[in-house]
Amino acid sequence: MAELGAGPGQPRAAKAYTRESLDALLDSNSYQELALLYIMAKLNLADALRDDPQPSAALARACAAHPDALHRVLRALASLALLTEEADGSFGLAPLGHLLRSDVPDSLRDQVVLEWEVWTRARDGLLAAVRTGESGFSQVFGHSLYEHLAQHPDLARTFDAEMVSMSLSAAAALLAAYDFSPVSRIVDVGGGAGALLVAILQANPQPSGIVFDLPAVAEGARAYLAAAGLGARCEVVAGDFFSGGLPHGDTYVLSHVLHNWDDVHCTQILQNCRAAMPPDGRIVIFEHRMPERITQPERAVEFDISMLVLTGGRQRTETEYRKLLAGAGLELTRVVPTASPRWVFEGRLHEAGR
C-alpha cells in the first residue's frame, strides 16, 4: 500500500514543526496548488504538450474544457513553472512539467491523481478514525479502499501503476540488504503486478517465483511477467491470503502487505504462509519499522497515520513484529535495515517445530 505523499526516488526526511513552519503551513496555498496539479494530470495536459506548444483554445477542445477557465488554469500552471506561456499566447511544457507526463519513468502523474481523488479525501475521515478505530477511508467513502478500487477500474489501474513504481524504487534497497540466492521458490504474497518479484528474480537467476494475489490482479500480473521475459520462471496464482491455500514455496515475501491490516488479520496471513511452507522455509517481511519510542521526527509515524486513514492498518515496532510472528508459530530471526525507509524482518519456524 502506498504512503500518503510518498513519491518515487529517495523519500524526504521527517521534520519537526516550529512556530514559523506552523504559520507557513496555515498560510500556504498548497491545497489549491495540488488542485492545479490534479487538473494537469487528469486532463493529460503534459502528454498533449509533449511535442510542441499549443494555444489554450486547442487544448480546451481536445480535453472538453471551458476555453477561458482552462486558459486561466494554464497561466497558473505557468506561474508554478510547470508550463511556459509563449510570446504568441500558446502554452508549452516546462522542464518540470515533464514529470506529469504518463510516459516517463519518474512520472508523478499517477501519484497526483491518487492524492487528489483518494488520499486527500480520505484524510477528512481522520477524526472519525480516532473516535471509532475504523479507517478514515471507510468513514468518508462508506466502504474499504479495496472495495473502492474494485468499483472504479480506472482508478484501480492508476493505483496499480503507482504500486509498481513504489516496488521498483524499493527493490534495489531490498536486494542490497538481503540475499535471495540460496532460496529456490519465492512466493510474493499480495504481490500485485509482480514488480518486486521480477526485480528479485532478475538479480538471482536460480530461484523460480509465484505472484499470489486476488483474481482481479492476476491478468495484469501475467502481462507484467511476460513483458519482463520471466514467463518460464514465474507464474501467477489467484487467491485470497485470508482463505489459505497459498502455493508452496520456501520463501514468502510480504512487501507492504501487513501494514494494511490489524493484528488479527496479519496473524491469519502469517498462519496461512506457515501452513504452506516447509520446515526450513522463511517469511521475508519488507516494511517500515516504527521506533520503540519517539525521540525525534520519524517518517514511520507519518506512514502509520497514513495507514490509520487508508486501511485501518498500522506500522509496527520490532517488538510488535516479534509478537505478531510468535502468534503464528514463527520466530523473528533477523532484522535488517536497508537504504530505504523499509526494513527486512525475517521469520522462521520455531526450532521446536522444524
CB 173 within 8 A of CB 339: yes
Using DSSP's 3-state secondary structure scheme, residue 25 falls into: helix
What are the backbone dihedrals phi and psi of residue 85, each rounded to the nearest 5 degrees, phi first? Answer: -100, 115
Identity of residue 273: C
Residue 89 in grid coordinates: 499566447
**195 to each of 46, 77, 95, 247, how far by Cα in Å?**
26, 33, 28, 19
CA distance 238 to 226: 16
Distance CA 234, CA 91 (A): 46
User: Looking at the chain, how many residues does it have?
Assistant: 354
Task: Specify the 3-state DSSP secondary structure of 308.
Answer: helix
Active-site choice (152, 259, 265, 288)? 259
Helix ranges, the chain (H): 19-27, 30-42, 45-48, 56-62, 67-79, 109-114, 120-123, 126-132, 136-141, 145-151, 153-177, 195-203, 215-227, 263-276, 299-310, 318-326
- Three cell numbers, residue 202: 532478475
Q: Reduce the DSSP state of residue 143 to 3 states and report it.
A: coil
Q: Are 91 and 53 in contact (CB under 8 A)?
A: yes
Which of 238, 253, 247 is closest to 285 using CA atoms? 253
CB-CB contact of 308 with 135 (8 Å): yes
DSSP code for 183: -
Does residue 350 carry a catalytic annotation?
no
Report DSSP letters for 259-291, one per residue. GGS-HHHHHHHHHHHHHHS-TT-EEEEEEEB--
* Catalytic residue set: 259
